[in-house]
Structure 1
Amino acid sequence: MLLAVIGSVVYVSCSGGDDTADAKPKAAEKAAQWRLDENSVAGSDATLWTDTEKSVRLKLLDGLSAEDAHSDALDDLDDREGLTAADVRITQLGVSHGVVSPPRRDGTALFTPDSGFEGEATVTYRVQLKGRPETVRGNATVTVELSPGGRYERGYDNCAEARADGAAPVRRGDPGYGEHLDRDGDGTGCDRG
């Protein structure tokens, strides 16, 4: 078909009238390629007061970030935005003076100290982004002790002291009772021997 118009020019554009049809297409944005930030240190410190609690929840991803290999973007793994605990594997490496539950979906684990232990316990673990080879070592430190008020209420240092004072057995709630005297955790201390 031939279209002839006298005295005017007809311009037909295949781009729907868009002036940028001849511009070069933009390069496709690269998808984020996350890797663990080598400057991140995973882990947290916690205090467990044994006269008020039996265990403490550790935040294993506390302070850990991932960085995008294509940009300067950082993403904290210990929050609920972007990358989260669901995007990592946490492997326990070791624990001193207690036991640790398997990591939960929220990136936490429960630490329970050995009976009668007081002092500093450590939990070591490894964090890896799923599908990536890099790992970061994590450390959590738990200070296990009596609460400030519990230190003054502790009473007897050992069962020999309680027996010498005529107080044995010592029941939970009695003056001088302490969990360190109650090895089997039944609420009665110095009830053996």
Structure 2
Amino acid sequence: MTWRKAQLSSATAARRLRELVIAGGYRIGTGFVGTPIISQALSSTGSLDVAYRQLQERGCPSWLYPIDQGATTIWERWDSQLEDSTVNPGQMTSFNHYALGAVAHWMHTTIAGITPLAPGYRKIAFTPQPGGGLTWAKASHDSPHGRIAIEWSIKSGVLTVQTTTPVNTTAALPMPSGMSFALSPGVSVHSESFA
């Protein structure tokens, strides 16, 4: 396959994935293999808006359905507890099972934007991608070098990003405007207009 054909094939697959998620009412239609990667597949192919909308879907099956049923852990199946508060009589009914919770990785790397660029987080990229009507997010990670943290907010059309970079590491903060900052260890704050 030539490079051009592969590029067209990728664009076709990205468009088709977007269409399928929208046609499915933004509910999760993937299994254990696809569920951990669907949000990343959407956001990395130009459908960040669809990834956020799918994250915020409340009907079953979705990530917020269990939360609406009172969940405080990730369930093995979307409907482990039914809407009438009874436990699903099926055989797979664990109320503490990570498989469907892999979306947390996407939330950490895309919404918050903490991504390692070298083993052990020696180099870090802070690349938050605000969207979905969210006006703030924060996350942290305890790396071998110390705590890595980010907090962003949008107020009055201004995006403010505060980062914490541990000692013996370097970090980069590319802002949505295209400006990029090389961050030294410590706390940094950067702001810019955000539409």
TM-score (norm 1): 0.22
Greater helix share, structure number: 2
Q: Which has the larger radius of gyration?
A: 1
Greater strand share, structure number: 1
- Greater RCO structure (CA 8 Å; 6+ sep): 1
